[in-house]
Structure 1
C-alpha cells in the first residue's frame, strides 16, 4: 500500500482526499484562484452589459461564445496535450498566462481604454488559454489521488469551486460599486499566484504514475473510445444541452437583476446565492462512493423543473431562493457526470476523454449563449430562462429513454410494483497498456472489465443476459 493510499484511508469519508498532502496543497491553491476567477467572471459580464453596451444581453452572449468556442474547436489537440506532457508544468504555463491577461484587462479598464471589440479579443484569448487549462486541471486530479478517492476528489474540487462561486461574485459586486471593475481584474491576477505556489509545492514523487500516449496517431482514440461507450454518449449529449442552454447563469442572473431594479452588488449576490445550492450538491456528491449515471439523469430532471420555476418568481428574493435549488441540481448533475467519466475511463485516454467532456460542456456555450442572449434581449430574461428549462427536460428525456431502451430499467423480479435498474459498467475498447508501464498506482486507476454472466430467470425456462 502506498503512503498516499494509506493516508487517504485514515480520513473522514467526506473529506478523505484531504489526507493526501498533494491534494491538500492543490485544494487550497485552487480555492484562492477560483475566488479570483469568479470575481473576474462577474466583472466581465457586468462591464459588457452595463459599461460597454446599454444593457445588451446579445453582446453578453457573444462574449460568452468567444470565451467558450476554443475548447470545442481545439478539443483534439488539448486532450492530447493533457495526456502527452507534464500536467503540472502545463498548468504553470496556463495559470501564468491567465494572470497576465487578467492584469492587462484591468489596466485597460482603469485607464478608460477598453472597448467592446477589444473585449471580444480578450474573451477569445481567455478561451484559448482555458481550452488547454481545463482538461489539464481535470485530469491532474487523477495524478493527485488514487482511483478509489477519485470521485471524492472530484466532488471536493466542485465544493472548492462553489465556495469560491459563493464568495467571489458577492465580493466582485461590492468592489465594482466601490471602486470600479478594473480593480476586480487586478485582484484576480494576484489570486493566480496561489495556484502557482501550490503547483510549486506539490511533491512530484508522490504523484500517481500515468500511462502516456505513444504518438499523434492516438489523437482519435478518445473519439473512438467514447463512440463505443453508449453510456458516455448519452452523458455527453445531456451535458451538451445543459451547457448550451441551461448553464448561461451570467445572462440569466444579470438580466434578472436589472429586471428587479438591482445594480452590480445585486447581481453578485444572486451569483453567490446560486453557489450555496451548488456547494450543497458538491458536498453531498463527495459522500458517494461511486458516480452513477442514474443520478446524472435524475439531476437533469430536477434542474429543468427548478430553473423553470425560477423564471416564474415575482420578486428578487423569491428568485434568489429558487436559484439555490437550481444550483444544487446543476452541480449534482455535473459533478456526477465528471466523476463518472473520470472513474470509468481508461487512464491512458483520460485526458482526451475529459477534454471531450469539457469541450462539450463549455463548447455548447458558443451555440447556446448567443441564442439565449438574443432571446433575453428580444423577449425578456424570463423567456430565456424557460428556454433553458425546456432543453434541460429534453436532456432528461434522452437519458431516461436510454435507460428504458437499453434494457437496464425493468420490472423487479420479486416485487410486483417495483422497478429495478442494472448497473452500468465500462467496456474495454482501447488496447491494454504495455506491461512495463504498469505499477500498483496505475493498476489502482484502471477500470476492471467485468464479464457478462447469465442469471437464471425464475419466470422463464431460458436464461437471459444481465449486465454485471
Structure 2
C-alpha cells in the first residue's frame, strides 16, 4: 500500500478545508441518524418504523435528483452547496425545537427527516461533483476515497458520541449538536476559493427533464456506469439496512443500552476508516477486483453478524462489514467519476444518487418488515446470503456490463448535443 498516494488529495488546500468541514458536519449528522431510529423504536417498538426513517430520509433524493443534477451542471456548485446546507441546518434545528417542546409524535419526526432529505436531494449531486472541482483528475481516486473516509469516520465518531449523549443527557443534545455541526461545513465553503464556479456547460434554456433524459441515454450507452449502478443498488438493498437494524439488534437480540448501540454503529465506521487506505492508494487493487472480493467478504461478514452468538463477536463482524461497504461503494462511485464526460458529470452523478438512494428505503422497509415477521437474525442472514449469490452472478457474468467494465477509462470524446 502506498500511503502517500492514498493521501495525495490532501495536498490541495481547498480539498483539505472541505474535507475537515464535511467531517465535522457529518459527525453531527450521525448523531441524528442514530438518535431518530432509536427514539422511534422506543416510541413504537417496531422495526418497520425504523425502516421508515430511510424512506423519509432518502425518497426526496429520488424525486429531486433531476433538479439537483441540472443545478449542479448549471450553477456554481459552491453556492448551491451553501444554500442547501443552510436549509439542512434549519431542518436540524426544527427537529431539536420540536423535541424540547414535547412535540414527539413519530409522524412529526419523520416529516422533519423528510424536510432535511429534500434539501439533501438537491445537495448531493453538487456535493459529489464538487469533489472533482477541488483536485486534478490524477488525484480523483484519492479524493473520492478520502471523501468516503471522512463520511465513515463520522459514522464511527457520531454514533459513539450519540450513544453517550442518549445514555447521559437524552436525545435533545444530539439534535442540538447536529444543528450546530452544519456551521462547520458552511464556514469551509466560505473559505474555499478559485474552484472555477459560474454557469457550466449545460444550457439554461434546456429543460430539466430534457437534460435528465440526455444523461439517462448516456448512461445506457456506458456499460461501466451501468454495472456501477447495479453494484450500488445491491449494496443499498442488501447491506445498507444493517445500519438501521443495529437499533433492533441492540434492543431485542443483544439486549444492551444506548451506549452499546453507539458502539455497534461506531464499529461500522471504524471498519471503513481502516479500509480507506487500502482502496485509495496507487498500489490499490483495480476497481473491479476491489468490488469482486469486497462483495464476497461483505456477504460473509453480514451472515456472521446475523448469527453472532455474542455482542463482542457482532462488533467484530460489523468492523468487517463497514470496511467492505466503504471499499465497494467508494470503488463504484470512483468508477463513475473517472468514466463520465465532464459536461454531464452533475447529471450523471444525480442519476447515480437517485438510483442508489432509492435502494435505501426499499431495503430498509423490506428488511424492517421481515425483521418484525421472522426476526432480525434470520433477516440479516438472508440478506448476507443474497449478497453472496449476487457476487457469484456478477463474477461469472460475461456480457457487455461485466464487472471488469468498472475499470473503463475517462470519456473525453463526448460532444454536447446542440440546443
Aligned CA distance change for structure 1 residues 429 and 163 (closer, same or farther; 3 Å) = closer
Range that drifts further, 194-203 or 75-84 = 75-84
In 2, distance between residues paired with 1:407 and 1:268?
39
Q: Tell me, yes or no, if the aligned pair for 1:242 and 1:395 is still in contact at 8 Å.
A: no
Identify the residue that residue 327 of structure 1 maps to in structure 2: 322
The 5 Å alignment of 1:292-441 reads 292-402=287-397, 404-406=398-400, 424-426=407-409, 431-432=414-415
SS of residue paired to 2:202: coil
Identify the residue that residue 268 of structure 2 maps to in structure 1: 274
Q: Tell me, yes or no, if the aligned pair for 1:17 and 1:23 is still in contact at 8 Å.
A: yes
The 5 Å alignment of 1:25-44 reads 25-44=17-36
SS of residue paired to 1:261: coil
Q: Tell me, yes or no, if the aligned pair for 2:240 and 2:363 is still in contact at 8 Å.
A: no
TM-score under structure 2 length normalisation: 0.92
Identify the residue that residue 22 of structure 1 maps to in structure 2: 14
Question: Displacement of 1:270 after TM fit?
Answer: 0.5
In 2, distance between residues paired with 1:345 and 1:182?
43
Question: Displacement of 1:430 after TM fit?
Answer: 7.1
Question: Displacement of 1:23 after TM fit?
Answer: 0.6
SS of residue paired to 1:12: helix
Identify the residue that residue 265 of structure 1 maps to in structure 2: 259
Question: Displacement of 1:63 after TM fit?
Answer: 2.0
Unaligned runs of 5+ in 1: 1-10, 410-420, 435-468
Matching of residue 107 in structure 1 with residue 97 in structure 2: yes
Question: Displacement of 1:206 after TM fit?
Answer: 4.5
Identify the residue that residue 166 of structure 1 maps to in structure 2: 156
Q: Tell me, yes or no, if the aligned pair for 2:94 and 2:112 is still in contact at 8 Å.
A: no
Aligned length: 409
Within the candidate set 211, 227, 235, 1:242 is matched to 235
Aligned CA distance change for structure 1 residues 349 and 423 (closer, same or farther; 3 Å) = closer
Question: Displacement of 1:187 after TM fit?
Answer: 0.3
Higher relative contact order (CA 8 A, sep 6+): 2
Identify the residue that residue 63 of structure 2 maps to in structure 1: 73
Identify the residue that residue 148 of structure 1 maps to in structure 2: 138
Question: Displacement of 1:209 after TM fit?
Answer: 8.7
Within the candidate set 32, 36, 54, 1:64 is matched to 54
In 2, distance between residues paired with 1:209 and 1:399?
41
Identify the residue that residue 185 of structure 2 maps to in structure 1: 195
Question: Displacement of 1:389 after TM fit?
Answer: 1.0
Q: Tell me, yes or no, if the aligned pair for 1:80 and 1:352 is still in contact at 8 Å.
A: yes
In 2, distance between residues paired with 1:265 and 1:149?
38
Deviation track 1:347-402 (CA, whole Å, cap 9, x = no partner) reads 11111111111122211122221111011112111112123213322432342133
Within the candidate set 202, 213, 223, 1:213 is matched to 202
Aligned CA distance change for structure 1 residues 377 and 84 (closer, same or farther; 3 Å) = same
Identify the residue that residue 279 of structure 2 maps to in structure 1: 285
Matching of residue 222 in structure 1 with residue 215 in structure 2: yes
Question: Displacement of 1:141 after TM fit?
Answer: 0.3
Question: Displacement of 1:28 after TM fit?
Answer: 0.9
In 2, distance between residues paired with 1:220 and 1:391?
32
Q: Tell me, yes or no, if the aligned pair for 1:234 and 1:399 is still in contact at 8 Å.
A: no
Q: Tell me, yes or no, if the aligned pair for 2:224 and 2:335 is still in contact at 8 Å.
A: no
Matching of residue 12 in structure 1 with residue 1 in structure 2: no
In 2, distance between residues paired with 1:130 and 1:394?
33
SS of residue paired to 1:112: coil
Aligned CA distance change for structure 1 residues 309 and 105 (closer, same or farther; 3 Å) = same
Q: Tell me, yes or no, if the aligned pair for 2:69 and 2:348 is still in contact at 8 Å.
A: yes
Within the candidate set 70, 88, 95, 2:85 is matched to 95
Deviation track 1:223-257 (CA, whole Å, cap 9, x = no partner) reads 11110112221221121121022111233211111
Q: Tell me, yes or no, if the aligned pair for 2:287 and 2:331 is still in contact at 8 Å.
A: yes
Q: Tell me, yes or no, if the aligned pair for 1:45 and 1:60 is still in contact at 8 Å.
A: yes
SS of residue paired to 2:26: helix
In 2, distance between residues paired with 1:102 and 1:85?
26
Matching of residue 116 in structure 1 with residue 116 in structure 2: no
Identify the residue that residue 437 of structure 1 maps to in structure 2: none
Q: Tell me, yes or no, if the aligned pair for 1:253 and 1:267 is still in contact at 8 Å.
A: yes
Identify the residue that residue 466 of structure 1 maps to in structure 2: none
In 2, distance between residues paired with 1:222 and 1:366?
24
RMSD of aligned residue pairs (Cα, Å): 2.3
Q: Over alpha carbons, which structure has the higher Rg?
A: 1
SS of residue paired to 1:114: coil
TM-score under structure 1 length normalisation: 0.83
SS of residue paired to 2:5: coil
Q: Name whichever structure is richer in helix by fraction.
A: 2
SS of residue paired to 1:64: helix
